[in-house]
Amino acid sequence: MEDQVENAIQIAANPTSSQQLRGQALEYLNQLRAEGSAWQAALTLFTRDPRASDFVRHTSLDLVNNAVQEHRLDEQSLAYIKDTLMGHIRQSYVPGSGSADTNHIQNKLMQTVTYLFVALYPASWQSFFDDFRALAGDQASIGSVNTATTFLYLRMLGQVHDEIADQLVARQEDEKKRNTDLKDLIRQRDAQKISVSWQEILAKWRDTDLGLVEMCLRTIGRWVSWTDINLIVNQAMITTFLEMAGQQGIADPESPPGKVRDAAIDTFSEIVGKKMSPADKIELITFLNLSEVVGQLINSPALAELNSPNYDNDLAETVAKLVNNIVFDVVKILENDSVDEQTRQRADDLIRIFTPYLLRFFADQYDEVCSSVIPSVTDLLTFLRKLQKKQGAVPPQYAAILPPVLDAIVAKMKYDETATWGEEGEQTDEAEFHDLRRRLHVLQQTVTAIDEPYYIETLSRVVNGTFGRLSQGDQSLNWRDLELALYEMYLFGELAIRNQGLYAKREPSSAAAQQLVVMMNSMIDSRLANYPHPAVQLQYMEICVRYYQFFEQNPGLIPKLLENFVNLTHNKHVKVRSRSWYLFQRLVKHLRAQLGNVSYDIIQAVGDLLTIKAELPDTSEDEMSSDEEDQSADALFNSQLYLFEAVGCIASSSTVSVENKKLYAQTIMSPLFADMEQTLSQARNGDERAILQIHHIIMALGTLARGYSDWVPSNNNSAVPHSEVADEFIKASEGILVALESLNSSGSIRHAARFAFSRMIAVLGSRLLQQLPSWIEGLLSLSSSMDEVSTFLKVLGQVIFTFKSEIDGILDTVMSPVLQRIFTALAVIPSGTDDEIQLAELRREYLNFITVVLNHGLGSVLVSNANQATFEPIVSSIETFARDTHDYPTARLAISVLIRMISVWGGPDKVGPGANSTPTSPDATQAPLPGFDNYVVERFSPLPWSIPASPGFNSKDAQAKQVLYEAANLQHEIIKKVGEPYIERLKSDLGGMGVGEDGVDQYLRTLAGAFEGPKKEREWRNFYVQFVDRMLASRA
């Protein structure tokens, strides 16, 4: 069988084997794993002499592992495997044999041995650790005579830890219990001897293989979390650790001595991190003399020579992690209210000792080192925040901590001296720096919460000092200093404008706001806007937009501000230029009331940027990075649209006369009309760039319209734009409709037209209604997708809401074409998941559209002479959706539409509090539909029974239950509007379902009770759901 197994493994591993043959080999090997029957053949293959290939041996061990791990073998078989493998180890790993296994075979072998350990150590292999310890040598020879077996011994210890004590591995409860029992046995039987072996290896560390020493330290670091600390923390062991950790003059941190040093420091970190009582933890840190260890390491040349090529940042990161662990544990002790006073005092002393070390690494030039201690800095500040809230102020012994912490935070916020900005290949470093900034910002917020006045004072000093240096022409000042000042100034706004804005009654609203005003004046005085670096220019614009209220209070500064922004909109740097277009729009939107007489000058100044030049996307655009995509032609055009909105805001400012508003509109749109007219013929011929150009022009016209009016549709139409301005946009609308008619088959043109249409509403007002049929014809063409129809229905709903008092005539004309297009789209059979999602969305938007019509007193349009033919399809479609068990939310919405129909067309209430009283609801003013009560009984009354009877309906589903609640509401509305005829219909229906007379009476009584208030309504809905459940159960 060995030959058969070996042959299968070789075929499976051979890439030249046929796919069919490899498949058969893999299937055979998987069958052997599943059965666990090939372990003997696999064991023979592994230990055979001459040896098989490494791949065959590795796979063979895997088959043995599987048999052991799956608990398929009896005690005798396990013992046989153990004896065979130990025999192989003793023979292969003796000094001079030269036949030790390769590393990856050793790893696999130790995995197998570990599985055997789990199975046999409790009872029949109690000498497990002794056997491996003996292979490594006696006290005199361990680690020196036979390093291969010593490595194997340590590898085994590491594998045992991973199998029974690794906290990162999720385990079942039975595994956890098994591992706890095994750890207890190890502590009882072998932990002392294992500890001695570690001491023996480390005792002569300078004379042995340093790789072996490093491995021993790593092993100790892993075992310390669950073994007796006293076995490791003794004078001899600690002295050795200190010697290793304190090595001086290591030129290469990756050299064996460097790795040993780092491993020794890491071992200290693991020792400190061991769980124990507060008093014991303080005693441990003190006994280890870690303050002296850390101090010596910081003063060593490798860490003392800051900003030099000799600086060892790897060592710094290792020591930083040790300091982080120490401070983390000490802070946790200080936060513990149950700690005795002596322990608290000792912890207090340790915090004062280690805080300088913590801040040393927090302020380190390398971000990786700084990041290593952020967790403990966070914990320390959180502790101080709790003290401040509890006692009203930070205790004096801790007050000195805040200044250096805040100074370090601000310093680390600054771009590194070696950092560049915005260059290709630097995106990863940039992203990591911004992530660090976010973490530092959280710390800065905590400092602010602890001592707000000090934060205000510090940031004011940093920001104003930097601007002052710029004003004085300080040559040592660079873009990093200015960018930092602006970044901190931006964050400062979280405090300065968090409540009521920057000003209250024309005065700064707080002490922070007052200082921010000073900063803004310092920035203006320094003429920072002229600084040439793009990072500074971007931050300057962000600041001006964020604190626009400053300029509202200082209108004399606005002309110069706008001049600066206009210059930046023409910046040569693509990032600055594209971002400035967006920020320019934000700024003028805020300040449109203060623009005064400069409007025309600004429009002229940015006029050259309004030229549209469409570019087809590069074929390689899919491979662009996200940063490059921001600079693509499409992204730049999207930014350019902000300019059109900005000039619309400027041109329509309240300080601009109506004549000038009209003139500006003509000035901006005339070139666009001419361009569209010139390009249209090429677009009709299928020129892709010409089609894209038309798309861009339409988008620009729509965006200009949005900027031209801040009128919001409402019941008060007094703010509708002036007719002279609307006349100009009527021309724009007509131009778009011509393009839409000519290029209706283009999805991008329809998209742009839909975009423009929704934005023309505000600037055209009710004049838009005369064009509505043309818009509908263009936007609801046979080429329109379900998604397009859904989107347009939302816009049409907005039009109805806006012009509900004027739209009934036009709506009566267009309703049938709109509904026919909707029905055509609803009839499309979805061909995939995306289509199904779009169809579901279309159904919901269709139902919402009908609801909008009904809610705004326009229900008569649906049943007018012009639209009578569509009434029956509307009701049928809604009934169909109500019974759809694949989309419960839509079913519920459909029933709600039916309820609304009954409310609108059902006339006065026949039952309930509203019966025989003067109507007060808006629905009562709408004329009832003659004969609708009989129609409701015939068409709608069966639904409460047919809906739950629909195939696939699951009344236990939470969403299905909501559908049933709505069906209960439907019955409530029917009986309210119809009265006695529906009661008789219910008696007939219930009797036909086999409900007895008492059951019918109870049903009707509960339904009638729903008119007595919300509580009774809920009782009725729950009663109906339970009734349906019983009905369905009886049919099952």
862's tokens: 């649906």
Give me the pLDDT at residue 182, please: 97
Worst-scoring range by mean pLDDT, 129-138, 442-451, 692-701? 129-138
Worst-scoring range by mean pLDDT, 97-101, 636-640, 705-709? 97-101
531: left (phi over 0), alpha (psi -120 to 50) or beta: beta
925 has pLDDT over 80? no
Q: Per the domain annotation, does 73 fall within a domain?
A: no
Return the SS3 of 508. strand
Residue 616 vs residues 136, 619, 620, 637, 687: alpha-carbon distances, Å: 71, 9, 12, 12, 11
Give me the pLDDT at residue 248, please: 76
> Which of these, 842, 849, 843, lies nearest to 881 by C-alpha position?
843
d(CA 900, CA 417): 68
Q: Per the domain annotation, does 463 fall within a domain?
A: no
d(CA 636, CA 569): 12
- List pLDDT tens digits, range 509-549: 999 999 999 999 999 999 999 999 999 999 999 999 999 99
468's tokens: 């002052």
590 has pLDDT over 90? yes
DSSP secondary structure string, 195-224?
HHHHHHHHHTGGGS-HHHHHHHHHHHHHHT
Inter-residue contact 756 to 701 (CB < 8 Å):
yes
Mean pLDDT of the chain: 91
Give me the pLDDT at residue 630, please: 55
Q: At what angle do helices 2-13 and 39-47 cross, to 10 degrees?
A: 80
> Which of these, 383, 362, 380, lies nearest to 436 by C-alpha position?
362
Average pLDDT value for residue range 864-877: 95
**Is the previous residue joined to 50 through a cis bond, with omega within 30 degrees of 0?**
yes
Return the SS3 of 504. strand
Cα dihedral 955, 956, 958, 964 in deg (nearest 10): 20
640's tokens: 């350019």
492 has pLDDT over 70? yes
Residue 633 vs residues 567, 613, 640: alpha-carbon distances, Å: 22, 9, 10
> Which of these, 967, 961, 979, lies nearest to 899 by C-alpha position?
967
Inter-residue contact 756 to 699 (CB < 8 Å):
yes
884 has pLDDT over 90? yes
Give me the pLDDT at residue 112, please: 95
Q: Per the domain annotation, does 491 fall within a domain?
A: no
Q: Residue 97 — very low, low, confident or very high, per pLDDT cuts 50/70/90?
A: low
Give me the pLDDT at residue 1004, please: 96
Of 350, 380, 399, the position where a domain reaches its end is: 399
The full length of the chain comes to 1036
Does the predicted TM-score (pTM) go above 0.85?
no
Of 384, 399, 414, the position where a domain reaches its end is: 399
Extended beta strands in 738-833, E state? none
DSSP secondary structure string, 826-837?
HTPPP-SHHHHH
- List pLDDT tens digits, range 402-426: 999 999 999 999 998 888 887 766 6
626 has pLDDT over 50? no
Residue 974 vs residues 843, 912, 944, 945: alpha-carbon distances, Å: 24, 11, 11, 14
Give me the pLDDT at residue 421, please: 85
| 411 contact partners, CB below 8 Å, separation of at least 6 | 363
Establish how many alpha carbons lie within 13 A of residue 32's alpha carbon, considering only the half-sphere containing its beta carbon.
Answer: 25
- For residue 507, report the phi and psi dihedrals to the nearest 5 degrees: -120, 150
715 has pLDDT over 50? no
Give per-residue burial for 503-524: e unless 16+ CB within 10 Å, then b.
beeeebbbebbebbbebbebbb
User: What's the 3-state SS for 86-123?
Assistant: HHHHHHHCCCCCCCCCCHHHHHHHHHHHHHHHHHHCCC
Worst-scoring range by mean pLDDT, 22-26, 566-570, 895-899? 22-26
Q: Residue 819 — very low, low, confident or very high, per pLDDT cuts 50/70/90?
A: very high
Q: Per the domain annotation, does 324 fall within a domain?
A: yes
Inter-residue contact 921 to 951 (CB < 8 Å):
no
Average pLDDT value for residue range 843-872: 95
Give me the pLDDT at residue 628, please: 42
End-to-end CA distance of the chain: 57
d(CA 93, CA 708): 86
Q: Per the domain annotation, does 794 fall within a domain?
A: no
> Which of these, 555, 620, 550, 536, lies nearest to 593 by C-alpha position?
555
Q: Per the domain annotation, does 615 fall within a domain?
A: no
143 has pLDDT over 90? no
> Which of these, 80, 18, 67, 3, lies nearest to 39 by C-alpha position?
67
Task: Quote the number of domains for the chain.
Answer: 2
Give me the pLDDT at residue 717, please: 47
Highest mean pLDDT among 55-59, 70-74, 92-96, 502-506: 55-59
Of 332, 365, 399, the position where a domain reaches its end is: 399
Q: Per the domain annotation, does 275 fall within a domain?
A: yes
DSSP secondary structure string, 17-85?
S-HHHHHHHHHHHHHHHHHT--HHHHHHHHH-SS---HHHHHHHHHHHHHHHHTT-S-HHHHHHHHHHH
Q: Per the domain annotation, does 795 fall within a domain?
A: no
| 1009 contact partners, CB below 8 Å, separation of at least 6 | 1016, 1019, 1020
Give me the pLDDT at residue 377, please: 97
Structural domain harbouring 360:
241-399
Average pLDDT value for residue range 263-290: 92
605 has pLDDT over 70? yes
Average pLDDT value for residue range 245-272: 87
958 has pLDDT over 50? yes
